């Protein structure tokens, strides 16, 4: 990386303000993206990276408290009015693009006014970026909230260097074409304003290239599309995690204590899962699989516990609220069916967990049951692997996650097949420590070698190369 300034654009800024007892403080997020960018080896001479995102606070709060957010970034919040933000975030982003790109077309809830809000929000962010942009800046746009943004910036700043990374799957053209032609071409053309478009897997990349071909008639060669003046390169960059953070945390005093407490409370076999509340995560199917196991193998009654942690998310959207009720009913039903006065098969928690609780759960469990029905990557699987210093524990992983491409030593399952998942649970419950170790060591080597730092470095290096190529072609 050289001295270029980095401009990051994502829907969420990596902090939030919290007011308790009339005292306002700032809570920094420890999400994957912020860790990735912080881990980049930026030269000391490089200017502070700038992070542009949508504010979930008012301009007044920002003016009053921005001094509290003083760290490695310069933050630039974009303030959207309530109606625009609702149509943009709850509407088009999370009720059209999210379900469609995760192969849930029947959950799509399309409204013209939401598309208008999506366009308005992208325009507002574009205006801010254009205002900030300096020559040689590298722009890195993140996720499905901003598919049109690369082209909007390009129209204002033809020679800008723009990278885009999609954190969710890019679906096959058969799914994308469910969007009206005008709408899908608008989204595809938006991405084609970037110099580099990154995906988690080669499949997603191929789906994009094929969609550009079939929808817009644009050919590609070796993963590159010539779009007028812009050469749009594409690549697969499977996002990683901060491996050492999770690996080392397993021995932290707080984690050791929490782990001991968990083991004491649940001395038998422990199965664990944690997800944001989302229909893509396959929680209902997972509960079906547990039920199938308990029905068919009564020898396990009273001898295992499934700790199911669901983290609240997008609760303003109807499908999410409904999902919560469905999960709670299923948990109650299964506990009622199999539980006794002294034992319940499922311990359900609907809340966030702290980092040390999370690592304690990863390291106390015998099986991590990670079975989304669709997931762009799934970092929970990688975090579980990284945290197992003891090289024990079995990962049961859905083959419909991006992570399954890298974690072939997990027990891979189709999450919709409850009997297959139940069989793999049974296999995992009986797996020898030796087999657990062999599978775990190989996965750990892979997760450690392509960590989040490597991911961010590879993307930025590839983006810099596109910049150098563009500059060289202008000189010629
Ligand atoms: C996914 C998306 C992210 C998003 C996260 C949490 O991982 O790819 O862009 O930030 O979910 O969702 P939320 O709607 O709470 O930001």
* Cα–ligand 1 centroid distance for 190 (angstroms): 20
- Catalytic residues, by residue number, are 167, 375
- What is the structure's pLDDT at 125? 98
- What is the structure's pLDDT at 1? 61
Which atom in ligand 1 lies closest to the alpha carbon of residue 313? 15
Strands (E), 158-206: 161-165, 196-199
Whose Cα sits closest to atom 15 in ligand 1? 313
Judge contact between 220 and 254, C-beta under 8 A: no
For residues 218-251, b (16+ Cβ closer than 10 Å) or e, as one string?
Answer: bebeebbbebeebebbbbbbbbbbbbebbbebbe
The Cα–Cα gap between 346 and 359 comes to 19
- What is the structure's pLDDT at 29? 86
Mean pLDDT of 280-287: 98
- This prediction has a pTM of 0.97
Mean pLDDT of 320-345: 97
Percentages (nearest 5) of helix, strand, coil residues in the chain: 50, 20, 30
pLDDT tens track for 422-432: 999 999 999 99
Percent of the chain with pLDDT over 70: 99
Whose Cα sits closest to atom 2 in ligand 1? 167
Percent of the chain with pLDDT over 90: 92
pLDDT at 226 over 70: yes
pLDDT tens track for 423-459: 999 999 999 999 999 999 999 999 999 999 999 999 9
Judge contact between 204 and 166, C-beta under 8 A: yes
Whose Cα sits closest to atom 10 in ligand 1? 12
The Cα–Cα gap between 145 and 88 comes to 8
Nearest to 403 by CA among 435, 357, 450, 437: 450
Nearest to 282 by CA among 381, 372, 404: 372
Which atom in ligand 1 lies closest to the alpha carbon of residue 93? 14
Which atom in ligand 1 lies closest to the alpha carbon of residue 167? 8
* Alpha helix ranges (H) inside 49-111: 59-65, 82-85, 98-101
pLDDT tens track for 136-179: 999 999 999 999 999 999 999 999 999 999 999 999 999 999 99
The Cα–Cα gap between 265 and 302 comes to 13
Place of tokens 């020679």: 159
Nearest to 382 by CA among 354, 409, 414: 409
289 pLDDT tier (thresholds 50, 70, 90): very high
Whose Cα sits closest to atom 8 in ligand 1? 167
Which atom in ligand 1 lies closest to the alpha carbon of residue 10? 9
Nearest to 281 by CA among 311, 249, 306, 238: 311
Judge contact between 411 and 428, C-beta under 8 A: yes
* Cα–ligand 1 centroid distance for 142 (angstroms): 10
Whose Cα sits closest to atom 12 in ligand 1? 313
pLDDT tens track for 120-140: 999 999 999 999 999 999 999
- What is the structure's pLDDT at 370? 98
Cα 280 versus chain centre, distance: 12
Q: How far is CA 304 from CA 136, 270, 300, 330, in A?
A: 57, 6, 6, 18
Starting at the earlier edge strand, list the strands of the sheet with 411-413: 346-350, 304-311, 269-276, 367-370, 394-398, 411-413
Q: Which of 143, 165, 169, 315 to mutate to test the pocket of ligand 1 (most atoms within 8 A of CB)?
A: 143
pLDDT tens track for 50-95: 999 999 999 999 999 999 998 889 999 999 999 999 999 999 999 9
Cross-strand bridge partners of residue 304: 269
Nearest to 99 by CA among 191, 176, 209: 176
- What is the structure's pLDDT at 45? 84
Q: Ligand 1: list residues with CB < 6 Å.
A: 12, 143, 167-168, 313-314
Considering only the C-alpha atoms of the chain, give the largest distance between any 2 of them, rounded to a whole number of Å: 80
- What is the structure's pLDDT at 43? 81
Angle, CA 403 vertex, CA 358 and CA 50 arms, to 5°: 75
């Amino acid at each position: 990386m050289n001295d270029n300034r980095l401009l990051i654009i994502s829907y969420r800024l990596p902090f939030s303000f919290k007011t308790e007892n009339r005292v306002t403080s700032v809570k920094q997020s420890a999400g994957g993206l912020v860790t990735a960018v912080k881990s980049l080896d930026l030269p000391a001479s490089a200017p502070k990276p700038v992070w542009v995102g949508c504010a979930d606070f008012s301009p007044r709060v920002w003016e009053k408290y921005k001094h509290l957010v003083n760290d490695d970034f310069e933050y630039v919040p974009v303030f959207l009015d309530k109606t625009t933000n609702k149509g943009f975030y709850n509407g088009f982003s999370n009720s059209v693009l999210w379900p469609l790109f995760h192969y849930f077309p029947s959950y799509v809830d399309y409204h013209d006014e939401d598309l208008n809000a999506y366009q308005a929000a992208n325009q507002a962010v574009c205006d801010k970026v254009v205002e900030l942009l300096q020559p040689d800046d590298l722009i890195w746009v993140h996720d499905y909230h901003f598919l049109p943004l690369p082209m909007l910036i390009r129209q204002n700043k033809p020679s800008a260097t723009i990278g885009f990374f999609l954190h969710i799957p890019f679906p096959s053209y058969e799914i994308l074409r469910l969007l009206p032609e005008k709408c899908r071409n608008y989204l595809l053309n938006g991405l084609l304003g970037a110099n580099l478009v990154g995906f988690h897997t080669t499949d997603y990349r191929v789906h994009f290239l094929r969609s550009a071909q079939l929808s817009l008639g644009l050919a590609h060669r070796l993963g590159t599309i010539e779009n007028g003046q812009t050469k749009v390169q594409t690549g697969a960059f499977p996002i990683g995690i901060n491996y050492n953070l999770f690996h080392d945390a397993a021995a932290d005093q707080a984690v050791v204590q929490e782990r001991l407490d968990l083991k004491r409370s649940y001395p038998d076999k422990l199965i664990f899962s944690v997800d944001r509340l989302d229909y893509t995560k396959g929680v209902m199917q997972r509960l079906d699989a547990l039920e199938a196991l308990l029905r068919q193998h009564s020898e396990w009654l009273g001898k295992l516990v499934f700790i199911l942690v669901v983290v609240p998310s997008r609760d303003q959207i109807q499908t999410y609220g409904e999902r919560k009720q469905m999960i709670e009913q299923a948990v109650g039903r299964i506990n009622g069916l199999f539980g006794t006065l002294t034992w319940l098969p499922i311990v359900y928690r609907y809340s966030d967990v702290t980092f040390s609780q999370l690592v304690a759960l990863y390291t106390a469990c015998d099986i991590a049951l990670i079975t989304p029905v669709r997931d762009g990557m799934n970092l929970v699987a990688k975090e579980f692997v990284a945290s197992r210093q003891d090289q024990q524990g079995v990962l049961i992983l859905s083959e419909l996650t991006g992570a399954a491409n890298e974690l072939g030593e997990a027990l891979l399952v189709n999450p919709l097949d409850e009997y297959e998942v139940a069989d793999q649970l049974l296999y995992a419950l009986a797996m020898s420590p030796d087999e657990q170790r062999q599978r775990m060591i190989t996965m750990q080597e892979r997760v450690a070698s392509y960590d989040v730092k490597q991911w961010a470095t590879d993307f930025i290096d590839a983006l810099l190369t596109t910049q150098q190529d563009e500059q060289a072609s202008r000189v010629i």
